[in-house]
Chain A
Amino acid sequence: MAEPVLSIRNLSVEIPTRHGILKPVDGVTYDIAAGEILGIVGESGAGKSMAGNAVIGLLSPPAHVSAGEIWLNGERIDNLKGDAMRRLRGKEIGMVFQDPLTSLNPLLRIGDQLVETMLTHLPISKSEAEKRAVAALEEVGIPGAAKRVNSYPHEFSGGMRQRVVIALALCAEPSLVIADEPTTALDVSVQAQIIALLKRLCRERGTAVMLITHDMGVIAEAADRVAVMYAGRLAELGPVRDVITAPEHPYTHGLMASTPLASRGKSRLHQIPGAMPRLDAVPDGCAFNPRCPRVADRCRQAPAPTVDGNAAACWFPLQHEEAS
């Protein structure tokens, strides 16, 4: 298998606070190959976005990478400083944020925002960048792109703005795109279009995508593989179909059972008892043990085995008759 675009090895992020050190990301390992879409799911505070911010080097202090390695195209990037990291942002790693209404500078024309990004990273002239800006807008499906480059962000709807944001993230042809909840702030009717667009563009260009979301529907629609996060740790990693139809980790199982499906009829939705622990009160052993229906003494003492490759981080994974 070819070398992955992004490789995260045993990554931990720490936030020192007055009440001790918080670990929003704790020993996470995964790879993303070229052209692959890896979905990262989990509840709020599970560490999904924090891992994404660590990759692009935008953790807000005092949060910092405390252990592990991040490799991009065979180069280690977690120890890059200031300007060296800045050069990678936008050029090698593109990012799409959650809220398109606030991600664009309201005072600058969208064309200017595209041009400045390209001129920062690519050795091209201004007129060439202007031409490419129109092409980039056409590619994300903005009608009348030649005219619309001169528009300001407030002249676009939410969905259209997210298309502009995607054009901005992709305009310097990065090898990795981190999409942090790209559809959460959008109308349901627009969500599917945006996901389809992101998927198509990345497939065409062979871009690796880290798709962070809490929406299993989005994952099922777009991702190739999925990583389930719980309290900063990886709970389960595997191909989307396997994880959805035959989850091995009790948490993933509970998560799937609590996702409403039309096929399941009008039955009551499943609930996982309790709530995800706060970061300053993660229990010993497996983080999920207080809520787990399959809990045993071992789970309270030893941390669950770490996920490497396709597996669940669980001492007693659910067994399924049909092999996955």
Chain B
Amino acid sequence: MLAYIIRRVAQSALVLLIVGLVAFAMFRFVGDPIDNMLGQERTADDIERLREQLGLDQPFVVQYYRFLENAVQGNFGVSYRQGRPVIDILMERAPATLELAAVSGILAVLFGIALGVFTAIRRKGIAANIIMSVSLIGVSLPTFLIGILLIYLFSVELGWLPSFGRGEVVDLGAWTTGFLTASGLKALILPSITLGLYQMTLIMRLVRSEMLEVLRQDYIRFARARGLRNRAVHFRHALKNTMVPVITVIGLQVGAIIAFAIITETVFQWPGVGLLFINAIQFVDIPVMAAYLMLISVMFVGINLIVDILYFFIDPRLRVDRKGGH
């Protein structure tokens, strides 16, 4: 098992190196930064000095290495637009996005699995068929449209929930949270539904089809032939087997929730990293964009690593170093 984890960590590191290369390459594609930093009144001497000072006269590989060295230490340079260290800006914004993503992810996973199991067990029931039809909407409507519809209904028409922002937040030092105030919690409802709806319907439909497949297996027939109660057959025997493939997709989707938060954050003016990224694109704020790219990929890779390790706890057949045979 240890060898497997080490191998997966090594693969993850490789992925991050490649993403780092892309992030680094962005700096070079948008022209010479020296041009931006020095005004019209410059001499060839100034340019040469600054270039040397910033290390831009070094070979590509050396520059890339220094970029990585800084990135690992959390140093992504200074935002062109705000003039503050990028890492500080990101850390300020991250709690908003992470809280939103966490609530959306939990909603998507809990409701997705519960509804998936329900629609699989009551395959022919009326309720299950209604849920399946409605879920098509969740899969096919674009996120921003769902957000706008929710705002129209609950904020504009009914006036129950705020249409933008995080509400009041409590500052816990390094972390600001909206969980501790009523307005903060209320502000979370619409964005988290908007963000999680697609993932929820996706997980639900996947759980349903996997579960139907598992329910056809011989060991389910055998479990029934042993007279086990339906509850045991469905939840102990079927659900666990269903989760093996589902968990991979859940891992990817949780990553996607963080990445797609950009759209939801724009619709709801949610002060998270996604909105920061959109603004950074508008102002060609490369350090912010590069740092965002790295942050998202670290999360994606991290979640996938966790998923791969989770397999071990669910599927004993993967624990290969256990003694087999008979």
Contacts and interface: CB of A to CB of B under 8 A. Distances in A.
Contacts of B236: 108, 116
A98 B94 CA distance: 56
B324 A89 contact: no
Contacts of A223: none
Nearest to A174: B227
B226 A102 contact: no
A105 interface: yes
A152 B316 contact: yes
Contact of B227 (A88, A105, A154, A160): A88
B219 A116 contact: no
A121 B237 CA distance: 17
Given A107-B315, A121-B227, A165 B222 contact: yes
B223 interface: yes
A104 B240 CA distance: 14
Contact of B232 (A56, A91, A116): A116
B42 interface: no
Interface string A151-181: 0101111001000010011001000000000
Nearest to B214: A105
A201 B77 CA distance: 77
Contacts of A87: 227
B28 interface: no
B316 A156 contact: no
Nearest to B230: A86
Contacts of A35: none
Contacts of B230: 86
Interface in A68-108: 86-91, 94-95, 97, 99, 102-108
Contact of B223 (A56, A105, A121, A172): A105
A29 interface: no
Contacts of A155: 322, 324-326
Given A106-B317, A108-B237, A117 B326 contact: no
B221 A58 contact: yes
A95 B225 contact: yes
Given A89-B226, A155-B325, A105 B317 contact: no
B228 interface: yes
Contact of B217 (A88, A102, A152, A154): A102
A87 B229 CA distance: 9
A157 B228 CA distance: 25
B219 A104 contact: yes
B176 interface: no
Main secondary structure of the interface of B (DSSP, over half): helix
A103 B228 contact: no
Interface string B180-220: 00000000000000000000000000000000000001110
A120 interface: yes
Contacts of B229: 86, 120
Could you say which of B222, B230, B244 has the most chain A C-beta atoms within 10 Å of its C-beta?
B222
B241 A168 contact: no
A56 B324 contact: no
Contacts of B240: 105, 107-108
Nearest to B325: A155
A138 to B, nearest CB: 15
A133 to B, nearest CB: 13
B314 interface: yes
B262 to A, nearest CB: 38
Contact of A90 (B217, B226, B316, B326): B226
A90 B225 contact: yes
Contact of B219 (A90, A95, A102): A102
B325 A103 contact: no
B49 interface: no
B224 interface: yes
B83 to A, nearest CB: 56
A120 B225 CA distance: 12
A108 B236 CA distance: 9
Given A97-B218, A102-B219, A103-B219, A117 B228 contact: yes
B225 to A, nearest CB: 4
B222 A95 contact: yes
A90 B315 contact: no
A107 B241 contact: yes
Contacts of B225: 56, 58, 89-90, 94-95, 97, 169
A6 B226 CA distance: 18
Interface string B286-326: 00000000000000000000000000001111000010111
A105 B226 contact: no
A117 to B, nearest CB: 5
A117 B322 CA distance: 26
29 contacts: A58-B225, A86-B229, A87-B227, A89-B224, A95-B226, A97-B218, A97-B222, A102-B218, A103-B219, A103-B222, A104-B222, A105-B240, A105-B241, A106-B241, A106-B315, A106-B316, A107-B241, A107-B314, A116-B228, A117-B227, A117-B228, A120-B229, A120-B232, A155-B322, A155-B325, A155-B326, A156-B326, A168-B222, A172-B227
The list of the 6 closest CB pairs from A to B, nearest first, reads A90-B227, A89-B227, A102-B218, A90-B226, A95-B225, A152-B316
Given A94-B226, A116-B236, A152-B317, 6 more contacts: A58-B225, A102-B218, A105-B241, A120-B228, A168-B222, A169-B225
